[in-house]
Structure 1
């Protein structure tokens, strides 16, 4: 297995990122969600690549093995979205999740962002530990900025002050 390479999204990544994200959501976690429920996935450019946003993909052996996105929500704030890593590329040893987050945080600092927000489900317990280890703090849904793009499945929310 080749070491993953992380690069900005290109349209050729579309089928691979859909396969990765939907398989994790539906098959691994049993969340009843479709591509149609996530219109952002069919318009990465229009949804994520505006303002201070971005979308990055980790590839290994021509396969998408990780994704992470930054959604500009105004006021020097952004939402961290679509962080997914293939099961065979998870964990500290693989380092894919940390590398994806590090790229996103570097972009956030370069782009002058001051706060990041994210929503996740209660089921993603390992993700909760990962976010908390990286300085994200749990907040109530009431503390989210009005422009935060909340997903129906989101039940747990975090904020990070960007240094």
Structure 2
């Protein structure tokens, strides 16, 4: 699902090999109070979101994707995934959540901003933030 959205919908030249985190989700995300969630419709994965602990009560939101036909308020997939992540982050005492995204994801930018994320400069990121090559726009959410 993630590769299909990246490659087909947004024409981002990224491969599975460029994303080793997807090959071992438990080791990459589900440790040190991080986690990975999926949205399902009748056992079909229609969305994903991940939280990675980067230390000092800070985390990174990654891999937020929702299949095109499941986007929007009527489905609530993106909002539900984000609410789960934020609830988990509060329960595990995170103070800030950062994310990087691509300029092409205009609807995602509006979604993040509407849900309390504020745009920040790359210089404002924590020094241990894992910047991906495609990341050009950055956000922070304070819990």
**Superposition TM-score tier, normalisation by shorter sequence:** over 0.9
- 2:37 counterpart SS class: strand
- 1:119 counterpart SS class: strand
Q: Give the structure-1-normalised TM-score.
A: 0.87
Task: Indicate which of 70, 86, 103 corresponds to 1:105.
Answer: 86
Q: Give the structure-2-normalised TM-score.
A: 0.99
> How far did residue 158 of structure 1 move?
0.1
Structure 1, gaps ≥5 residues long: 1-19
> How far did residue 81 of structure 1 move?
0.3
Q: Is residue 2:137 matched to residue 1:156?
A: yes
Q: Give distance in 2, aligned partners of 1:64 and 1:46.
A: 20
RMSD: 0.6
Q: Give distance in 1, aligned partners of 2:33 and 2:103.
A: 28
- 2:7 counterpart SS class: helix
Q: Give distance in 2, aligned partners of 1:75 and 1:51.
A: 12
Q: Give distance in 1, aligned partners of 2:91 and 2:122.
A: 27
Q: Is residue 2:27 matched to residue 1:49?
A: no
Structure 2, gaps ≥5 residues long: none
Q: Is residue 2:18 matched to residue 1:37?
A: yes
Task: Indicate which of 53, 61, 77 corresponds to 1:72.
Answer: 53
- The runs of at least 4 consecutive aligned structure 1 residues that moved more than 2 Å come to none
Q: Give distance in 1, aligned partners of 2:128 and 2:26.
A: 18
